[in-house]
Amino acid sequence: MNEPSPNSTDSASQPFTPKFDAAGLIPAIVQDASSGEVLMFAWMNREAFELTASTRLAHYYSRSRGKLWKKGETSGHTQEVESLRIDCDQDVLLLRVKQHGAACHTGYRSCFYREIVAIDNSVPILHVCEKEKFFDPAEVYNLRQS
C-alpha cells in the first residue's frame, strides 16, 4: 500500500457541484443509517434534492409518473435523512436514512429482497431472501375491496 500524496483536491472542504444528467436527474442510493442495509434506489431532480436537503425528509422524482414525490406520502413510510453523500464524480448521491416502516412498495423492508441464483450453468432465478413483509401493500395502498 502506498502513502497518499498531497493533493489540492483533497482538502477538507470542496465545492458541491452535482451533475444532473440530460434529463435533469441524478441517481440516489438509499441506505439504512443504522444497519447499513441498502433499502432502495431512486432518482432526484434538483427540486427533489433541495426539498430533501431543506426538510431532511427524502423526496424523489418519479420517471414513470413524471413528477416529484415525497417518500411515504401515501404509506406514511417516510425517510429521515441523517446524512447526504456524493460520489467522486459528483453524479451519484448516497442517502443514509432512518426508515420509518419499510422502503419497498411490495411491503419488504428493502427493495433488494431477492437474490439472483443458479447463474453458472443454468437459467438464473430469483430467491426471496427476506423472511416476511413489513406491511401488506394491499392494505396500505387501499387496494382491497371493502
Binding site for a copy of itself (CB under 8 A): 1-5, 10-16, 27, 29, 31, 35-38, 40-41, 53-54, 83-89, 92, 94, 104-108, 111-116, 119-120, 123-129, 132-136, 138-140
For the CB of residue 66, give the shortest distance to a copy of itself in the complex, in Å. Answer: 16
Grid coordinates representing 93? 448521491
For the CB of residue 78, give the shortest distance to a copy of itself in the complex, in Å. Answer: 16
Question: Are residues 79 and 98 in contact, defined by beta-carbon separation less than 8 angstroms?
Answer: yes
Grid coordinates representing 134? 413489513
Output 4 or 66, the one with its CB closest to a copy of itself: 4
Burial class (CB in 10 A: 0-12, 13-18, 19+), 31: buried
Output 73 or 124, the one with its CB closest to a copy of itself: 124
Output 73 or 125, the one with its CB closest to a copy of itself: 125
For the CB of residue 57, give the shortest distance to a copy of itself in the complex, in Å. Answer: 13
Of 43, 56, 55, 54, nearest to 93 by C-alpha is 43
For the CB of residue 119, give the shortest distance to a copy of itself in the complex, in Å. Answer: 4
Of 37, 36, 49, 39, nearest to 91 by C-alpha is 49
